[in-house]
Amino acid sequence: MDLLIVDGRIAERRVPEKGRGAAPDGRVIDATGHWVCPGLVDMHVHLREPGQEHKESIESGTRAAAAGGFTSVACMPNTDPWNDGLSVTEYIVAEARRKGMVNVFPIGCVSKGGLGVELAEIGDMVRSGAVAVSDDGRPVGNSHLLRMALEYTKIFGIPLIDHCEDANLSASGVMNEGFVSTLLGLKGIPGASEEVAVATDLAVAAMTGGRLHVAHISTRGSLEKVRRARQEGVAVTCEATPHHLVLTDQSVADSRYDPNTKMNPPLRSEEDRQALLQGLLDGTIDAIASDHAPHHADEKLVEYDEAPFGIIGLETTVPLIVDRCVRKGGLAPARFVELLSRNPARILGIKKGTLAVGADADVTIIDPELERMVDVSQFKSKSRNSPFHGWTLRGWPVATVVGGRVVHELQPVASR
């Protein structure tokens, strides 16, 4: 399959003819043996700007996205200040246009300041470019507020993305509650902390008819609830992260309390991980998102209990999923494209995730055979908090094209 790109759009798709030369003035990328995917969409990243640019900025975060094979990202609103009204949304859109290497779609708050008390200026934010609402970093928590938000977002046709967690159940926990946490003497966060919130959200979504998206789903029980609710007609989708698909709470022990294994929701049990893999294959999980959460090295270089939750993920998502889920886990490349491009675009209602003629020329080229070592010192992100440093993985993005422009190239793929 050949793709012809003219003026930033897909102009033609055709079967290559023998002996046909390249366009006289155009550039040709020979992607023989590679996957040519519609540009990948990461629907859950933290870009930290405004307010925490020492961790990441829109410029560095989108550079990391491009290096990781993503042509679009949706950024969570827990910035400083939180993105709960027109001015922050407008700032993000403008800054992304000026300095962004890839497309940036802001996610606005559900509640003012993410405090869970009063609804944020949802209408204003949607008109300024917000594609979803979420208080991620925190659960919405207040079910009455959740009800109002789901009713309100229905008017705009956007999803409400919830970080499902019962704060009372997970209070002061730092890792998954189970055998390993007992062994390590660390305070646990039970799976029920997520499942209680998922159950509440599903009931409220069913009542309102609003569109619910469960962020970073991590337990077998949560998945079963989503599966059942969907059968009953509830408008619910969910995402899983590469780290929950690849690591378990045993990694906390194996890493000797490395704070780069500390995230929220925490790494779960092997049984949960297997359930997530099953959810990828059977379609219960709609999308894979990195939950890219940059933290400065000084903040992570403290005792496990004290370290902030979260790891970066934009530059390791593709190789982790290709190596562990496609090559070794039976995930079909076509499902890979659904999970990382088509579905997140559909959930967010953005015109991405396709290589149809006339679509924006956002293209990700992946070499499924390329083997490389993860080296955080080479990352474009400003932060280095990854548990995957030193891992050797096979299957890396080699070129990222946004609107017809090559924004990242690993090694010129025999171009002329």
- The contact mask relative to Zn ion for 14-53 (x = CB under 5 A, - = no) is ----------------------------------------
Task: Point out which span in 1-9, 120-128, 133-141, 180-188 binds Zn ion (CB under 5 A).
Answer: 133-141
**Residue among 286, 291, 360, 362 flagged as catalytic:** 291
Task: Write down the least CB distance from residue 299 to Zn ion, Å.
Answer: 16
CA dist 333 and 321 (Å) reads: 10
Total residues binding Zn ion (CB under 5 A): 3
Q: Nearer to Zn ion by C-beta: 101 or 311?
A: 311
Q: Nearer to Zn ion by C-beta: 244 or 408?
A: 244
CA dist 191 and 207 (Å) reads: 25
Q: Nearer to Zn ion by C-beta: 291 or 360?
A: 291
Q: Nearer to Zn ion by C-beta: 238 or 331?
A: 238
Subset of 152-171 contacting Zn ion (CB under 5 A): 163
- The contact mask relative to Zn ion for 93-132 (x = CB under 5 A, - = no) is ----------------------------------------
Q: Nearer to Zn ion by C-beta: 31 or 140?
A: 140
CA dist 115 and 323 (Å) reads: 39
Task: Write down the least CB distance from residue 233 to Zn ion, Å.
Answer: 26
291 is catalytic: yes
Task: Write down the least CB distance from residue 221 to Zn ion, Å.
Answer: 18
Q: Nearer to Zn ion by C-beta: 190 or 395?
A: 190
Is residue 243 near Zn ion by the rule CB under 5 A? no
Task: Write down the least CB distance from residue 263 to Zn ion, Å.
Answer: 9
Query: Which residue's Cβ lies closest to Zn ion?
Result: 163
Interface with Zn ion (CB under 5 A), residue from 42, 95, 136, 177: 136
Interface with Zn ion (CB under 5 A), residue from 49, 84, 95, 291: 291
Task: Write down the least CB distance from residue 73 to Zn ion, Å.
Answer: 12
Task: Write down the least CB distance from residue 289 to Zn ion, Å.
Answer: 8
**Residues recognised as catalytic:** 291
Give the footprint of Zn ion on this chain (CB under 5 A). Answer: 136, 163, 291
